[in-house]
Amino acid sequence: MPPPRPRRRHRLAALLCAAAGATGCGERADSFQPNGLLRATGGLTDEQSSSIDAALAELFGSPDEPRLPPELPRMAELCDLAALQQAAGPVASHEVGVTQGLYRRHCARCHGVTGDGRGPTARYQSPYPRDFRRGVFKWKSTYRDAPPTVADLDRVLEHGVPGTAMPSFRLLSEEEREILQQYVIYLAIRGQTERALVSLVADELPAGEPLRLEGDLRDEVMSESLAPIVAAWVDAESDVVSPPDSSEVDDRLIARGRDLYHSEKAGCFKCHGAAGQGGAVAGKDYEIDYDRWTRERVVARPSDAVAHLVRQDLPIRPSRPRQLIGATPHGGDATADLYRRVHQGIAGTTMPAVGGAYPGQPGSLTDEEVQSVVVYLQSINPKESPL
């Protein structure tokens, strides 16, 4: 279940949703859910928490009436307000062919109205639906710490994530997919803003003082915390990892990749097993770990409030290194996809990067070495398509 709702109205809405069998709690949602765990971990008082809700509502509006903060003009380069309005709100058809409420219709049952990955069906999925609020995405072409490009999101929407519950939305029109992709960016930036405001209140304001987003503080928050979040999204295009031209595949290259796969330097075997059989059966080499969305729920000595929220939340599952033989790659099976996956690892998960963190920075493997590992992975898969 999602974290406890602060107001009665929401608890009732959740019950109604459950009773209705829920195409995504969406129809009745009129406010975004606060990130309760983040606020409890930060030790925020109820008053501080409400002050953050008020600031978020002022900046981003509500699930029925989205808004773009005028002080973040570059957001308009990512999201068109009319598009957000069509994605938001309850499901309805006003004119022939125009559907309102696209997000609640197609996405909220898994990703939640707030984009917290806690829609009514999330519990039954593995992996869980993405929580957009961290702004962290796995299946993308950019360096590890950069947001995905618009093309990356489009691709996820068009093809889904094979091997997971994330379906393909190929049957929607391109325009509808674009609207939804913009709405994902909006929810992500809103979630990242919430995170920035919570840490401001928890770490920088005097204890117990609520947030008043005005005057100098407002200017500072806008220029130093929020504008950089938006800029990273706008600039994602310039953070794309370019795979080198494919080299001649011969046995020597494959053998080099095999040696690297089993080397300490690359460390692949430690998680994926000597034969690429995956963490589930790799035995002693594999240590239990968690992805980034889960790790903050695995608190060594949680306060009562945090422990309560964790108990109510989705069950904690460890991050499992994938089986590499005969399995479907979730992030695409083209050589360029595999190259990016190995070079940058998978953001938000325990799969590390072996290439440099930005262009020109050396990694633990050279670009040619990464290429040889990719060729090796392709060679151990008996199928036509790699992996």
Q: Which is nearer to ligand HEC, 144 or 320 (CB)?
A: 320
Which tokens belong to 264? 């300490």
Min dist. Cβ of residue 106 to ligand HEC (A): 4
Min dist. Cβ of residue 185 to ligand HEC (A): 9
Query: Which residues of this protein are in contact with ligand HEC, per CB under 6 A?
Result: 106-107, 109-111, 125, 127, 129-130, 137-140, 148, 153, 156-157, 161, 164-167, 169, 180, 184, 266-268, 270-272, 319-322, 324, 329-331, 338, 341-342, 346, 349-352, 354, 373, 377
Min dist. Cβ of residue 266 to ligand HEC (A): 4
Q: Which residues pair with 92 in a beta bridge?
A: 100
Alpha-carbon torsion (131, 181, 224, 219), positive or negative: negative
Q: Which is nearer to ligand HEC, 45 or 164 (CB)?
A: 164
Min dist. Cβ of residue 50 to ligand HEC (A): 29
Q: Which is nearer to ligand HEC, 197 or 260 (CB)?
A: 260
Min dist. Cβ of residue 340 to ligand HEC (A): 9
Min dist. Cβ of residue 129 to ligand HEC (A): 4
Q: Which is nearer to ligand HEC, 6 or 345 (CB)?
A: 345
Burial 288-325 (b: 16+ CB within 10 A, else e): ebbbebbeebeeeebeeebeebbeebbeeeebbbbbbb
Min dist. Cβ of residue 300 to ligand HEC (A): 21
Min dist. Cβ of residue 136 to ligand HEC (A): 8
Nearest alpha-carbon partner for 135 in 64, 194, 211: 194
Residue 143: which region, alpha, beta or left (left: phi > 0; alpha: psi -120 to 50)? beta
In terms of DSSP bridges, do strands 98-100 and 92-95 run parallel, antiparallel, or are they unpaired? Answer: antiparallel
Q: Which is nearer to ligand HEC, 51 or 294 (CB)?
A: 294
Q: Which is nearer to ligand HEC, 205 or 325 (CB)?
A: 325
Q: Which residue type is seen at 121? A: T
